[in-house]
Structure 1
């Protein structure tokens, strides 16, 4: 009997570790999905407006943004400001869930490789974990991002729903169109996701060392996330403009001649039309408002959901 009890005690830690590891993956997946949905819904009107300016030749200014929002509201109704948000939710929920859960797993894998033993990752693997998480999520959900962009810039009469976008795009332009703009997206997501996660994790690490508190308050998380979003989106913004143009060029009036343009040709055309700054950085000032709000909300929601799920599971375990 003593041997059996001894064996049970020796085997228990491995089993408990496996259960906790699986639970952590599920928690990260759920928390990431909720975080992405909340963040994107909050900034959806600004996001749609930004995409419209990115893919058009109209001059960007704060006054023009307000006029566009008001004109959209008057002609299409209040909820039209969220047009394409259903497609965003279909895309962002799996995207954010995959990105956050992948980030947690990459951090764990890199922690083992760099032998950090529970300590925060060094700077380079911290950056690498974020970039790898972004690449993983983007590759698996990219066609949904293209659908969202097309619904955002087209009138309601053109596409009736998300499935209609897939069917019409595949039929009229070919299946490969669903991955139009994929190369600049991947090139952009490496600095965006890498720097966003790196900056947020670094802010939390510095905060912990300075205040001696293990966890920041909610408003501090929001501030760290906003700063992370500002850094990440500023670094990757030109490639965001390029991918939006490549995603929507086949459905905008007067652009069908450029339908098959690649990355270099698209960049050249944008620069010719709007100049280096006015073309590739068009709408960046709006992103400095939208981006920090979205990323800050996303990171904060993810962390708070993780804490909430952990408390619920701990409470249930104690009741048993």
Structure 2
């Protein structure tokens, strides 16, 4: 019995020896708290990646409407004009006279603000201008349909599954490596391990899957200009980016054309690395504290779920709020339609442009939906991932 307890709690061996040497020390002895780490070494990289991919799939579907709202608000602040899909065609036909055409340019069939220009039923520009998160969601439902709130979900899934499948397992591996290293050589650096591990893991995941992120932002930012036509998917969106980039090369350079697929990756890294650093350095101590309150290593499945979701929600909210200006810069660089300008722009120049155009308010455009998206998203991803790991470890332990 004692031997089995020593195997599960290695700290018991030295303490039992000290108790035998000094029996009077029993009153002063208080065993150190058990380590909150589970037997993660039993899980392979494939199992970690699978559980992380499942978490990413669930999160991407649930929070996508807030992601669309955030991107639309930021794109509008960058100068993207939202209007009825037929408005450009009607303006080109207006030279034939207002009575030569008949069209309905109301923002929705139920809109009562539309007036008539000749035979054209026309809504005022305010009907197509977004004023906030709820206004974006409401107008997308009225003008484009409920399913458009999930525009870019296929790109989000194509992005989230490999990204998180790389991100979380690599974070686990880097954290374990650095904790072992700092425990032996630099114990004072241990609190900074989550910050470094999260930054490295996020950089690796971002560089690997960035073109899909570019496609998702463009799919969410722009309306489809042709009615009753299926909007382009990830592949067609990326083809359009490449063809636009190649068309501006003189002489043509195929490598330059494909380089545009990584337009704005610097801004993405500048946003994601601080986000991960803030997120993990907040999440780790928070969830360890919560798990210790609900039983430590003896915590139940529901306790693990609740502790990880709560810690992830708090960490994601703080990180998203702090990095919102960098997210605005990232969106602006990704929706830039001039590939030459996009390749020459830097994140610093973009932030200065945002400050010049909108000041402090401009730097925090889309703050509400970004924070509202990131908190639940991080909570869902981390809690799902940890629960799957908990279940797999429990299965290995019992078998």
- TM-score bucket (shorter structure): 0.7 to 0.9
Per the alignment, residue 229 of structure 1 pairs with: 316
Residue-pair matches, total: 289
What is the aligned counterpart of 1:200 among 280, 283, 290? 283
How far residue 42 of structure 1 moved from its aligned partner, in angstroms, is 0.9
Query: After alignment, is 31-40 or 205-214 more displaced?
Result: 205-214
CA contact 1:134–1:194 (8 Å) conserved in 2: no
What is the aligned counterpart of 1:84 among 139, 149, 152? 152
CA contact 2:72–2:136 (8 Å) conserved in 1: no
1:294-316 per-residue CA deviation (whole Å, 9 max, x = no partner) reads: 1111111111121223344556x
1:257-312 per-residue CA deviation (whole Å, 9 max, x = no partner) reads: 9544322321122111111x211111112222222111111111111121223344
Higher helix share: 1
Which structure 1 residue ranges, 5 or more long, are not aligned?
1-19
Does 2:59 align with 1:36? no
CA contact 1:107–1:126 (8 Å) conserved in 2: yes
Alignment of 1:39-118 (within 5 A): 39-57=59-77, 64-115=132-183
Per the alignment, residue 210 of structure 2 pairs with: 142
What is the aligned counterpart of 1:165 among 228, 237, 244? 237
1:161-206 per-residue CA deviation (whole Å, 9 max, x = no partner) reads: 1110111111112222211111121122121112212211111222
Alignment of 1:238-249 (within 5 A): 238-249=325-336
CA contact 1:149–1:244 (8 Å) conserved in 2: yes
What is the aligned counterpart of 2:264 among 171, 177, 181? 181
CA contact 1:242–1:267 (8 Å) conserved in 2: yes
Distance (Å, rounded) in 1 between the aligned partners of 2:130 and 2:390? 39
Higher alpha-carbon Rg: 2
Which structure 2 residue ranges, 5 or more long, are not aligned?
1-39, 80-125, 246-256
What is the aligned counterpart of 2:356 among 267, 272, 288? 272
Distance (Å, rounded) in 2 between the aligned partners of 1:25 and 1:141? 19
Alignment of 1:276-295 (within 5 A): 277-295=360-378
Distance (Å, rounded) in 1 between the aligned partners of 2:206 and 2:339? 26
Change (3 A) 1:304 1:265: same
CA contact 1:48–1:81 (8 Å) conserved in 2: yes
Distance (Å, rounded) in 2 between the aligned partners of 1:100 and 1:301? 12
How far residue 157 of structure 1 moved from its aligned partner, in angstroms, is 5.1
TM-score (norm 1): 0.82
1:99-140 per-residue CA deviation (whole Å, 9 max, x = no partner) reads: 0010011012112211369x9x82111211111111111111
Change (3 A) 1:165 1:313: farther
TM-score (norm 2): 0.67
